[in-house]
Amino acid sequence: MSKCEQCIVREFSSLKALNKEELVKLAECKTSRLVKKGEVIFEEGENVNGIFCVKDGVCKLTKLSQNGKDHIVKLVTKGELLGQRSMISEEPVNLSAVALEDMQVCFIPKSEIMGFFDKNNQFSMNVMRTICGDLKEADSQMVNMAQKTVKERLAETLLYLQDTFGKNEDDSLKIQLSRDELASMIGTATESCIRLLSDFNKLGLIELKGKKIILKDIPKLKKMS
């Protein structure tokens, strides 16, 4: 069983507040798991009873809307935690988590985490700050969905994807989303998303190489987002 001390998750998440002793306990109770691209980590409505550490890979958090379409609420990448909200609220998860790439995740049972809350104030504050950050982001996204056009949201999302996940050697977005997923992130029909990508392509804002997307005119994309 690998140690948690050097783990990337510890470096970037609320867990950075844990001391050596706590990390040893963590390493003892955690279970590791490989998740293949497309595999479900947990599903809306499930009782998860713990949190996941994302050691490697990226997943999408989705919510099923009444019209039957999935909406991507957030992407979670290596170094981050999953399932904190549900654990704290003591409720089933309100979002599904599905791997966008092969992933390495660790599961930490609730009992262990709750102990940290009691004894480690810095850890509590870290978790609180993370969730506050998520809330701020969610509020902002809500307003975007309500007030921006699909075109603006597409431009914004493309920039976000490059900023957050970077690009390959050929300058294409490192994170690989299908048109369908991109559409469900910006909240539109797949065809509309594809059509707008074509438009952006013709306008020289982006370049499409198969399903790869290369951002060509970032200033213009920023201006229109």
Partner DNA sequence: GTATTTATATGACATATATCATATTTTAAG
Partner DNA sequence: CTTAAAATATGATATATGTCATATAAATAC
What stretch of H or E contains 74? strand 70-77
Within 62-101, the residues that bind DNA by CB under 7 A are 67
* CA–CA gap between residue 62 and residue 84 (Å, rounded): 15
Residues 6+ apart with CB under 8 A from 185: 71, 72, 157, 177
Residue 212 beta carbon to DNA: minimum distance, rounded to whole angstroms: 9
The reply to whether 78 sits near its own copies by the rule CB under 8 A is no
CB atoms within 10 A of CB 72: 21
**Site mask, DNA, residues 146-165, x = CB under 7 A?**
---xxx--------------
* CA–CA gap between residue 211 and residue 9 (Å, rounded): 31
Q: For residues 85 and 212, which CB has a smaller minimum distance to its own copies in the complex?
A: 85
Across the strands, what pairs with 209? 212
Across the strands, what pairs with 58? 77
Residue 7 beta carbon to DNA: minimum distance, rounded to whole angstroms: 30
Provide the terminal-to-terminal Cα distance of the chain, rounded to the nearest Å. Answer: 46
> What secondary structure does DSSP assign to 129-188, as a single string?
HHHHHHHHHHHHHHHHHHHS-HHHHHHHHHHHHHHHH-B-TTSBBSS---HHHHHHHHTS
Tally the residues of the chain: 225
Q: Which of 131, 194, 214, 218 is in the footprint of DNA by CB under 7 A? A: 194
The reply to whether 220 sits near its own copies by the rule CB under 8 A is no
For 193, half-sphere exposure in the C-beta direction (CA atoms, 13 angstrom radius) is: 20
Residue 224 beta carbon to its own copies: minimum distance, rounded to whole angstroms: 11
How many residues at the interface with its own copies, by CB under 8 A? Answer: 41
The reply to whether 131 sits near its own copies by the rule CB under 8 A is yes
The reply to whether 10 sits near its own copies by the rule CB under 8 A is no
Q: Phi and psi of 174, rounded to 5°?
A: -70, -40
Q: Which of 115, 133, 166, 204 is in the footprint of its own copies by CB under 8 A? A: 133
The reply to whether 151 sits near its own copies by the rule CB under 8 A is no
Q: For residues 7 and 196, which CB has a smaller minimum distance to its own copies in the complex?
A: 196
Q: Which of 21, 118, 163, 169 is in the footprint of its own copies by CB under 8 A? A: 118
Q: Which of 77, 104, 144, 190 is in the footprint of its own copies by CB under 8 A? A: 144
Across the strands, what pairs with 108? 51
Question: Residue 190's binding partner, choosing from DNA, its own copies, none, with beta-carbon cut-off 5 to 8 A by kind?
Answer: DNA
* CA–CA gap between residue 41 and residue 184 (Å, rounded): 19
Residues that bind its own copies (CB under 8 A): 63, 65-67, 69, 71, 73, 85, 88-89, 91, 94-95, 117-118, 121, 124-125, 127-129, 131-136, 138-148, 152, 186-187
